[in-house]
Structure 1
Amino acid sequence: MGQTTLQGVPGILRPFKEYIEKWSLPAGSEVVFYGVPGTCTPFVELLCFAIRSLPLTLIFVPYTEEDKAQKLTMVPDIGFQATNACPPKNPAVLVIMGGLAMPNMPVGADDVASVINRWKGSGTIGVCFMHMFQKAGWLD
């Protein structure tokens, strides 16, 4: 089987959608995104848009502060927006954004590992650009 190289925004969104679809998650399942406010949120909104046809509950957690989590809702003519408080209750999938691994962030690999351990049984996906997880040593 050959390697496929995808580029640009579709190169992120299409594989993400295909991966989430393969899970066949039941309606209402939580997909929880952990990322840096302002830096990661536009990418999270794009990822949500890619899976907008799936009946999922989409949540954004700033850094790893679940008490500050917001539900992401499709707003007509706008796109996905944070709409109201919605701490995760039973995530089916955790999406860890690479912005968390950037230098000078208030979280580290241990903080993210704690989140993953807290939600054992949830699937985990990492989304990053420019090998951020590798550069930060998070995959060691």
Structure 2
Amino acid sequence: MKTINTSQGIGGQLTEFRKLVDKSGKITFVGTAGFCTPFAELMAFVLRKTDKKMAFIPDLKFEEARSIVSTSHGMQVGDSTNPHADTVVLLGGLAMPKTGIEAEQMKEMTDRILDGSDEKLIIGVCFQSVFQKMNWTETIDFDYIIDADLTNELLEV
């Protein structure tokens, strides 16, 4: 792996994501229900004015795929949709040990989502290198990983 760019903050993360999916037609995010859902909606927000189709799959529940649509409240999970896509975005919550999801299971899911697509792109979006730490990079053929670190300060004023 080599670093191709460094940016800061959520804005930097979203800018890098938007650049990576510039040529994508349909993007399917896969993440844990609840925890990853808002991250998928946030990332989808930078694409709201494009003609890209987007979907979200909770955990490994392919049949529960929902569209991600622009609303007056921002991007939100909508109706059931076909999750087949040319781009898969795996969110880091999936790789956390407490989910019990193995890299092999996620590779099968990415293959299923990308089945029939001529162009195939797999992007990981995570914090604190969770995909690397859990060895998912040895099983899943990521094209890119957007890896961020979080620093939190609790201030009493």
User: Which TM-score applies when normalising by structure 2?
Assistant: 0.78
- Unaligned segments of structure 2, at least 5 residues: 139-157
- State the SS of the aligned residue for 2:9: coil
Q: Distance in 2 between matches of 1:116 and 1:37?
A: 17
Q: Which residue of 1 aligns with 2:89?
A: 95
- Percent of aligned pairs sharing the same letter: 31
Q: Which residue of 2 aligns with 1:83?
A: 78
Could you tell me how far 1:3 is from its partner in structure 2? 6.1
Aligned pair count reads 132
Q: RMSD in angstroms over aligned alpha carbons? A: 1.7
User: Which TM-score applies when normalising by structure 1?
Assistant: 0.86
Could you tell me how far 1:4 is from its partner in structure 2? 4.0
1:120-139 equivalent positions in 2, closer than 5 A: 120=115, 121=117, 122-139=120-137
- State the SS of the aligned residue for 2:57: strand
Q: Does 1:30 align with 2:23?
A: no
1:41-95 Cα offsets, whole Å, 9 max, x none, are 111111100111210111000012110111111111x11111111131x311111
- State the SS of the aligned residue for 1:38: coil
- State the SS of the aligned residue for 1:91: coil
Q: Which residue of 1 aligns with 2:45?
A: 49
- State the SS of the aligned residue for 2:97: coil
One-letter amino acid of the counterpart of residue 107, structure 1: I
- Unaligned segments of structure 1, at least 5 residues: none
Moved over 6 A (4+): none
